[in-house]
Structure 1
Amino acid sequence: MTNIRNLAIIAHVDHGKTTLIDNILKQSNTFRENQQVDERIMDSNELEKERGITILAKCTSIYYKDYKMNIVDTPGHADFGGEVERVLSMVEGVVLLVDASEGPMPQTKFVLSKALKLGLRPIVVINKVDRTDSRIEEVLNEVFELFSALDATEEQLDFPVLYAVGREGWAVTDLNHERKDLEPLFNLFINHVPAPKVDTDAPFSMLATILSSDPYVGKILIGKVYSGIAKINTNVKAINLKGELIESTKLTKLFGFKGLERVLLTEIAAGDIIAIAGVEKASVSDTICDVAITEPIKSTPIDPPTMAVNIGVNDSPLAGQEGTKVTSRMILDRLKREAETNVAITLGVDENSESFEVGGRGELQLGVLIETMRREGFELSVSRPRVLFKRDEEGKLLEPIEEVVIDVDDPYSGVVVEKLSKRKGELKDLRPSGGNKSRIIFHVPSRGLIGYQSEFRNDTRGTGVLSRIYHSYEPFKGEIEQRRNGMMISNCDGETTAYAMFNLEERGILFIPARTKVYEGMIIGEHNRENDLDVNPVKGKKLTNMRASSSDKAIILTPHRELNLEEVISYIADDELVEVTPKSIRLRKKALLPHERKKPGKKDFI
């Protein structure tokens, strides 16, 4: 298979992977001349299009000068690092994309370390060189320093460099060369990325790396064929990482990739990245192979989750009014399906409970899962995220620490350092990064970062950029001060009135507008003091036949604070829940009745 090249494009979030792939597909004549093509073609998921980020790894293929190139687009956000770790086992080469202004970021370091450990020799592309604040030479030096810090071999340190603007579809080996297309990149794919080393005469075996589904053929497993040849109706078996038999079956459909489409094949051979159907029970990391094979293909171990939430049934007074999937059995089945396909997610099940512990890499990953479920019609109650502690051999408590890299305007650097220090963060580096900006690097406990994102956005007036990634487990850092303010809690059921809400504005910040359904125990806003406050948001104005110049003025309410799902989940306290339905996101106390909340030890009853 000397004419096949398998490679992945890896980078930090927003450094331009998916946009570059758009132009790779266009310049390889993948589309018809009159074909309408969207931007960020590979981001096919609804949430990906809305958020402008890649969540799921996806495979595409192009043909160039008699070569077939299988290209995998990977997520850039640290929360979806599990997707990146899986797909790197499928490829023989990687393209490391680095922003010409931001330089190497935490996820750059993470994905590069995984690629180097697998022995891959990266191609470095300095992207967005047309930015006014680009610092090309400095970024290239930072990339080299990063390779050295990650113990790259001499071969890996001798990486080729291209300068590019992925959005405009050009790349050059020297900035003085003509900037016309991506041909220098295509040539590097051929000359720098090695052909897969495989044995077509050995029995058939492939490693399932990505799980997909099709309404017509059912479950589809995508992966690289490591050895042999297979045809439709070939008898195969699926074995797990321990070599245990999962099922014996036949390959009913074989697919290859061409651009964005899956094309039917009659035969698949070693070295190619393909998709198969007909395997019902096997999942990610399982080996699909000839019946004679007994040893599974080794799969890269995935870093463990560092955070967990409890997801359970919605038992509020408004339960069942907006969703169609409301039972614990439906929720459990859906979470089991997610845990099968997403190796970075863990699921803890207590059969006697109506809530389930879901572990993940961070608030964004868990938030995307919950948002996907609510769009499918689920109603859920979600607890505050909590970090997953460990104990060392001596019994000492360990907690996950994250490396946080912050780019911020100089006037705001002081407040950022102060806030992260209060959250038990340890300052590792503070240096100017040009343009009156500073780059700050902290090591912060994961629990200290829960809920900090929205606070950071307010402190930096929306101009700061914060990136974080798991660093290590270290000894417990001590207690961290949580949210200072109390909540305003509804003490009755009904629909909020403008008159009542207007009178409550002086007590704090409201989370809901007028004419919203509320119930006793539901949180309607943040109190401006430390204690919780029971309030009546449904009170109407008393009718009177007396007229006064001030009594009939129109009530104008201050706009309420809008919080997105990830912000709400990280904002709540341990004795609170988020009620998630297809139409609403509500905050509530775990104990709805005031006398229940006042009982000692009751706040952790769920």
Structure 2
Amino acid sequence: MIRNDIRNLAIIAHVDHGKTTLVDQMLKQSGMFRESELKGVCILDSNDLEKERGITILAKNIALKIGDTKINLMDTPGHADFGGEVERVLKMADGVLLLVDSAEGVMPQTRFVLRKAFECGLRPIVVINKIDRPDARIDEVLNGIFDLFVELDADEKALDFMTIYASGREGISTTDMSIPPVDFKPLFAAILKYVPAPDVDMDAPLQMLVVTLDFSEFTGRIAIGKIFAGKIRKGQRIAHLKTDGTKVEDTVTQLFTFDRLGRIEANDCSAGDICALIGLEDVDIGDTIACVTNPVALPIITVDEPTLSMVFRINDSPFVGQEGTYVTSRQLRDRLFKELQSNVALRVVADEIKKDEFHVSGRGLLHLSI
């Protein structure tokens, strides 16, 4: 069954090529928000570190409507150190927008995110962003993108990609540079036409893959993922299939879908939806939520292994205790292991001899510093 009422779309790009700014304009031009709700720039960079550094660190899920179609939009980090976030989010997407800066062109992370999209079987819509830059070289960049597609062994359908020329800052887009860009209507039309609607089986046994985790002090872990088959409803008994092969039966106490910048409670969700569940104990990324009577696990999420390791330990210098709030080994341990709950690209191993030392492995310096 084709669900034409929904599109699941991820936005991928090299760092600082304008993903979050483009999403801001999509929100503003969707007509779903009051002006006061969208104050400031980079609305989705809600984390303090994201605002400080001006980059996206955590993948975000939002939803907007274009006509009668709901667009589940996933903003992803652009830096290679946070590639684990990109890999997970692509599991929920049915299509991707590949953003490329009109002046900088194809960059190392462009190659990485595009390769991951192809591995997930996704066909990108190419958006050449920042066309208002005085040093834009649009034709050269477009040729570079085509060459990259060829290098990554894209099939003929993928090579015939749709191209949108846009400026996220100005909120304009066009499919042809000879036509003056006005607004984002050409971009919205391309999304509806070229992003495939989910092809799902509503009557099959439930299968949902947990892709992201959130945490609430009141309800504990919140499992976020995409339903690949069947339906789920509030209060339903489900089989929780963990990545180590064990099976636990749980009850869905609360069910949420994404709406605008937040989540709203729902009574039921169907295949193709991206939703959030509360009520599952010890849920982890990569777990499958399945039907109790016929539990079938989905393929486990795999991410690239860490490339850099550092040792974290408490300060034992003469200045110990003079700066910082959380400086004890217990607080350091709690924070590191809390991060493990949602950061699949991170590894933390406590030293067996020196109990206040922790070997932390990640994807790069920026990943570990954050």
Amino acid at match of 1:153: D
Amino acid at match of 2:112: F
Q: C-alpha displacement at 1:195, in angstroms?
A: 1.1
Contact 2:221 2:283 in 1 (8 A): no
| Greater relative contact order, per chain length (Cα 8 Å cut-off, separation 6+) | 2
Partner of 2:304: 303
Q: C-alpha displacement at 1:333, in angstroms?
A: 2.7
Aligned residues: 367
Amino acid at match of 1:346: R
Partner of 2:89: 87
Q: C-alpha displacement at 1:253, in angstroms?
A: 1.2
Partners of 2:65 and 2:129 in 1: CA distance: 23
Q: C-alpha displacement at 1:316, in angstroms?
A: 2.2
Partner of 2:47: 45
Partners of 2:255 and 2:163 in 1: CA distance: 37
Unpaired stretches in structure 2, ≥5 consecutive residues: none
Partners of 2:73 and 2:254 in 1: CA distance: 22
Q: In 2 relative to 1, CA 268–132 (structure 1 residues): closer, same or farther, beyond 3 Å?
A: same
Contact 1:18 1:43 in 2 (8 A): yes
Partners of 1:351 and 1:289 in 2: CA distance: 38
- Residue 24 of structure 2 is aligned to residue 18 of structure 1: no
Partner of 1:214: 216
SS in 2 for 1:90: coil
- Residue 34 of structure 2 is aligned to residue 32 of structure 1: yes
Contact 1:255 1:265 in 2 (8 A): yes
1:371-394 Cα shifts (integer Å, max 9, x gaps): xxxxxxxxxxxxxxxxxxxxxxxx
Partner of 1:112: 114
1:449-488 Cα shifts (integer Å, max 9, x gaps): xxxxxxxxxxxxxxxxxxxxxxxxxxxxxxxxxxxxxxxx
Contact 1:95 1:122 in 2 (8 A): yes
Partner of 1:132: 134
Partners of 2:251 and 2:21 in 1: CA distance: 38
1:507-526 → structure 2 map (5 Å cutoff): none
Contact 1:242 1:296 in 2 (8 A): no
Partners of 2:310 and 2:214 in 1: CA distance: 26
1:147-166 → structure 2 map (5 Å cutoff): 147-166=149-168
1:324-375 Cα shifts (integer Å, max 9, x gaps): 433333322321221221111111223332211100011111001xxxxxxx
Partners of 1:29 and 1:147 in 2: CA distance: 35
Partner of 1:359: 361
SS in 2 for 1:137: helix
- Residue 176 of structure 2 is aligned to residue 174 of structure 1: yes
Q: C-alpha displacement at 1:315, in angstroms?
A: 2.0
1:187-226 → structure 2 map (5 Å cutoff): 187-226=189-228
Q: C-alpha displacement at 1:22, in angstroms?
A: 0.3
1:397-430 Cα shifts (integer Å, max 9, x gaps): xxxxxxxxxxxxxxxxxxxxxxxxxxxxxxxxxx
Partners of 1:54 and 1:334 in 2: CA distance: 21
Q: CA RMSD in A?
A: 1.5
Partner of 2:342: 341
SS in 2 for 1:310: strand
- Residue 74 of structure 2 is aligned to residue 72 of structure 1: yes
Partners of 1:112 and 1:203 in 2: CA distance: 32
1:179-227 Cα shifts (integer Å, max 9, x gaps): 2111111111111111112211122221111111234333211110111
Amino acid at match of 1:320: G
Partners of 1:139 and 1:206 in 2: CA distance: 39
Q: C-alpha displacement at 1:7, in angstroms?
A: 0.8
Q: C-alpha displacement at 1:251, in angstroms?
A: 0.9
Pick from 53, 59, 63 the counterpart of residue 61 of structure 1: 63
Q: C-alpha displacement at 1:33, in angstroms?
A: 4.6
SS in 1 for 2:281: coil
Partners of 1:316 and 1:21 in 2: CA distance: 46
Partner of 1:289: 290
1:128-527 → structure 2 map (5 Å cutoff): 128-245=130-247, 247-353=248-354, 354-368=356-370
Partner of 1:587: none
1:68-98 Cα shifts (integer Å, max 9, x gaps): 1101000001110110011001011000000
Partners of 1:224 and 1:242 in 2: CA distance: 20
Q: In 2 relative to 1, CA 111–36 (structure 1 residues): closer, same or farther, beyond 3 Å?
A: closer
SS in 2 for 1:71: strand
SS in 2 for 1:190: helix
Contact 1:95 1:124 in 2 (8 A): yes
Q: C-alpha displacement at 1:113, in angstroms?
A: 0.4
Partner of 1:456: none
Per the normalisation by structure 1, the TM-score is 0.59
Q: C-alpha displacement at 1:280, in angstroms?
A: 2.7
Partners of 1:231 and 1:140 in 2: CA distance: 46
Amino acid at match of 2:243: L
Q: In 2 relative to 1, CA 289–185 (structure 1 residues): closer, same or farther, beyond 3 Å?
A: same
1:491-570 → structure 2 map (5 Å cutoff): none
Partners of 1:38 and 1:218 in 2: CA distance: 31
Partners of 1:321 and 1:346 in 2: CA distance: 29
Amino acid at match of 1:340: Q
Pick from 77, 98, 101 the counterpart of residue 96 of structure 1: 98
Amino acid at match of 2:106: P
Q: C-alpha displacement at 1:270, in angstroms?
A: 0.8
Q: C-alpha displacement at 1:34, in angstroms?
A: 4.8
- Residue 4 of structure 2 is aligned to residue 2 of structure 1: yes
SS in 1 for 2:341: helix
Unpaired stretches in structure 1, ≥5 consecutive residues: 369-606
Contact 2:207 2:296 in 1 (8 A): no
Contact 1:13 1:53 in 2 (8 A): yes
SS in 2 for 1:219: strand
Per the normalisation by structure 2, the TM-score is 0.95
Partners of 2:311 and 2:128 in 1: CA distance: 42
Amino acid at match of 1:148: V
Q: In 2 relative to 1, CA 306–36 (structure 1 residues): closer, same or farther, beyond 3 Å?
A: closer
Partners of 1:274 and 1:259 in 2: CA distance: 13
Amino acid at match of 2:171: G
Partners of 2:133 and 2:180 in 1: CA distance: 18
